[in-house]
């Protein structure tokens, strides 16, 4: 994979757009045809060309080509959000009576998809511990049509053995799909390990400026075409040309942004590892992680996302720590310039909070592009307040 070629040249065909250096924004809803025969052909197979921008559009096509190449895939679809890039492929590939095996603790809206939406269509989901393959194999039935992974997941950072799971699935003719938002294509290549479909929240590292909401799924052309011709076109959750252009702009700097974010995060983690108020750090490359060898086999690096647990994980201490940060912002998502924090306790009522529940006490930190010393000073003053 020649990253520079993909990001700077692939799919751009500058000679078709006045030799402009930056990709064009083709801000149109529809396209004209010169003959009825041409129109008839386009209507018969919208996957092959530009008819209406709910489907494809030249700006979106440039983005699709690049995103597919980054993942080592044959094709890509771009969506109006990350969860749309999960939901629409899942709906397109399943029907009444089918079953799904999904790893535990995926993204919250993925849980809602499998627990709340799919049962309306007669689809059952079994959630399993994904840290080994035995629980996945045990959950497979003759009705299982999809194995859904999120490796690492984005709060407690468990990883799954992609190669082993892909082999199990292929032997049983089951489609595999993964949410690769944590790593991006630069840090993990699931298709190289045999995974069929790779979804990402493009809002995160791919866009990288906290100003875009989008998603992408990549895979073999036959699967992408099936998704396009079914739920993608029917639901209409496509991305606008302006949004696609913002993603193209952002891809140019993806490698250098990720490199700096990773460097910053490593320095912040080194500081937190030594702090007496921190009980532990959850991070795929943490030296105490039981899955460290697997994480390093599958992943090139980790980016800026990790979680911490305070030595005293009371609700009062967690809230005081988060409330007193001055520069690290409390907000969802990650991948932009700004460093962010999410306490898991914000997702439960104060009455239901349990300091003995390992998920309630997690505090997720995203380290962005600010200088690490600036962030460490902020963490230091907030930790000092709760240590007194």
Q: What is the pLDDT of residues 349-371, one digit of tens each?
A: 999 999 999 999 999 999 999 99
Contact 11, 45 (CB under 8 A): no
The model's pTM is 0.96
Average pLDDT over residues 84-101: 98
* 305-310 vs 363-366, strand pairing mode: antiparallel
- Whether residue 388 is predicted with pLDDT greater than 80 in this model: the reply is no
Q: What is the pLDDT of residues 130-175, one digit of tens each?
A: 999 999 999 999 999 999 999 999 999 999 999 999 999 999 999 9
Q: What is the pLDDT of residues 192-241, one digit of tens each?
A: 999 999 999 999 999 999 999 999 999 999 999 999 999 999 999 999 99
Instruction: Report residue 107's pLDDT band, with 50, 70 and 90 as the boundaries.
Output: very high
Average pLDDT over residues 13-19: 93
Instruction: Report residue 126's pLDDT band, with 50, 70 and 90 as the boundaries.
Output: very high
Average pLDDT over residues 15-24: 94
Owner of token pair 């890509």? 76
Q: Where do the domains of the chain lie?
A: 3-251, 254-387
CATH number for the domain formed by residue range(s) 3-251 = 3.40.640.10
Average pLDDT over residues 115-129: 98
Q: Out of 3.40.50.970, 3.40.190.10, 3.90.1150.10, 3.40.50.300, which CATH number does the structure's domain 254-387 have?
A: 3.90.1150.10
pLDDT for 148 equals 99
pLDDT for 66 equals 99
Q: What is the pLDDT of residues 37-79, one digit of tens each?
A: 999 999 999 999 999 999 999 999 999 999 999 999 999 999 9
The percent of residues above 70 in pLDDT, for the chain, comes to 100
| Average pLDDT score, the chain | 97
Half-sphere exposure of 111 (CA within 13 A, CB side): 8
The percent of residues above 90 in pLDDT, for the chain, comes to 99
Average pLDDT over residues 102-123: 97
């Amino acid at each position: 994979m020649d990253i520079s070629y993909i990001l700077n040249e692939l799919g751009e065909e500058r000679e078709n757009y006045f030799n402009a250096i930056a990709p064009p924004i083709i801000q149109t809803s529809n396209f004209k045809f010169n003959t009825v025969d041409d129109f008839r052909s386009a209507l018969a197979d919208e996957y092959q060309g530009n008819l209406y921008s709910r489907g494809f559009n030249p700006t979106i096509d440039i983005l699709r080509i690049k995103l597919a190449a980054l993942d080592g895939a044959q094709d890509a679809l771009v969506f109006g959000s990350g969860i749309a890039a999960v939901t629409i492929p899942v709906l397109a590939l399943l029907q009444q009576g089918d079953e799904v095996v999904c790893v535990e603790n995926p993204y919250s809206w993925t849980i809602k998809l499998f627990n709340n939406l799919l049962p309306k269509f007669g689809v059952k989901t079994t959630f399993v511990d994904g840290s080994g393959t035995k629980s996945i194999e045990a959950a497979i039935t003759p009705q299982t049509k999809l194995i859904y992974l999120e490796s690492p997941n984005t709060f407690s950072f468990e990883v799954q053995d992609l190669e082993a799971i892909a082999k199990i699935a292929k032997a049983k003719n089951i489609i595999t799909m993964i949410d690769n938002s944590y790593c991006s294509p630069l840090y993990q290549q699931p298709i190289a390990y045999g995974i069929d479909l790779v979804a990402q929240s493009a809002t995160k590292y791919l866009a990288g400026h906290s100003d875009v909401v989008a998603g992408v799924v990549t895979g073999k052309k036959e699967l992408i075409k099936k998704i396009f011709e079914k739920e993608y076109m029917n639901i209409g959750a496509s991305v606008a040309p302006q949004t696609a252009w913002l993603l193209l702009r952002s891809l140019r700097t993806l490698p250098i942004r990720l490199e700096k974010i990773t460097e910053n995060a490593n320095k912040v983690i080194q500081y937190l590892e030594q702090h007496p108020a921190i009980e532990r750090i959850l991070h795929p490359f943490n030296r105490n992680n039981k899955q460290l060898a697997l994480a390093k086999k599958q992943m090139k690096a980790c980016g800026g996302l990790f979680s911490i647990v305070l030595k005293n994980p009371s609700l009062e201490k967690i809230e005081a720590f988060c409330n007193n940060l001055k520069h690290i912002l409390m907000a969802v998502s990650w991948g932009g310039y700004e460093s962010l924090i999410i306490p898991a306790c914000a997702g439960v009522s104060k009455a239901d909070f349990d300091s003995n529940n390992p998920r309630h006490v997690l505090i997720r930190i995203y380290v962005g592009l600010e200088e690490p010393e600036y962030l460490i000073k902020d963490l230091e003053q907030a930790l000092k307040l709760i240590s007194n």
